[in-house]
Every structure is written in structure tokens, then in C-alpha cells.
Amino acid sequence: MSDKKKKKLTPTQQEYQAFVKKREPQRPIVRNCILAFLFGGAICMLGQLISLFYTHYFDFTEKTAGNPTVATLIFVSVLLTGLGVYDHIAQWAGAGTAIPVTGFANSLASAAIEHRSEGFVLGVGGNMFKLAGSVIVFGTFSAFVVAIVKVLILKGMGGF
């Protein structure tokens, strides 16, 4: 709490704030960071193994193996979300499961599962794409800004 807000509190309220702060459990920040790093790395390593599988057994190139690899990771994530396993892993591993594409797939699948009783169109589709819409808009806008910056940099270097 900021000092300005503390000054407006009565002495009893300030005493209570101090009491609560002493008894508040400390978050294990270092442990959470290590778990997020390890699980995020494990998901990325799994993606690399899947990519190597596609390049070795299906004669994909490194460049063309990316799309089926991402699709496989999304499928596995949605399957584990539907079975109720992914949420338990995510609760324990934290941001390590939220940052890769698997976390986004989990978010979409969770929204779809949560609202399935409202019907496929308004429930599943409507609520699933509330989340996806903001991500797609942000991604499109970011790509536009990066393209403008690239064009300006190339034009300044005499590339045009």
C-alpha cells in the first residue's frame, strides 16, 4: 500500500494492515521462476523432438516441419485440456505452460469447454473467440508496426 493511502487510514486500520502483512504467506518467487523455466523449456524441447520426428520420418525440411509441429503441440494441449490434465500441470508449472502456443490453445479450449452448455455457436464459438479476437488483433497490429519500421529502416539505408 502506498504511503499516501496509509496516511488516510485510522491508527486501527494501520495496525490491522501491519498485522495482515506479517501473517501473509510469502510467495516462492524463485521456485516459481525455476519451475516456469523448466516446464517452458520442456514444452519447447517436446516441440523440437516433434519437429525432428517430422523431418526424419516424413521428409519435411526444417522450414516446412514448423507448421505440423505447432499443430501437433496445439492438438496435444487441447486433448490434455479436455481430459482435465493440462490445468493441473499449469497450476504447478505456472507461466511455463502459459507462454508457449500450448498455453493459448489451453485458454481457447478451456473457454469452449466452460461455455458448451450455451450451445455451439453462442456458447463455444462466441466465448472461445472473445479471447482469440484480442490476440489476433494484437498480433495483426504488431505485425503492421514491425513492417512499417522495417520499411522505414530499409528506406533510410537506401534499400528502395
Distant-in-sequence, close-in-space partners of 106: CB < 8 Å, separation ≥ 6: 77, 78, 80, 81, 86, 87, 90, 97, 98
Least Cα distance to 102 among 127, 124, 85 occurs for 85
- 144-160: per-residue pLDDT in tens? 999 999 999 988 877 65
What digits encode the pLDDT tens for the residues 37-63? 999 999 999 999 999 999 999 999 999
Give CA–CA dist 95/37, Å, rounded. Answer: 8
pTM, two decimals, is: 0.68
Residue among 132, 130, 109, 112 nearest 120 (CA): 112
**What pLDDT was estimated at residue 160?**
56
- 10 Å CB burial of residue 154 (0-12, 13-18, 19+) is exposed
Residue for grid cell 524463485? 30
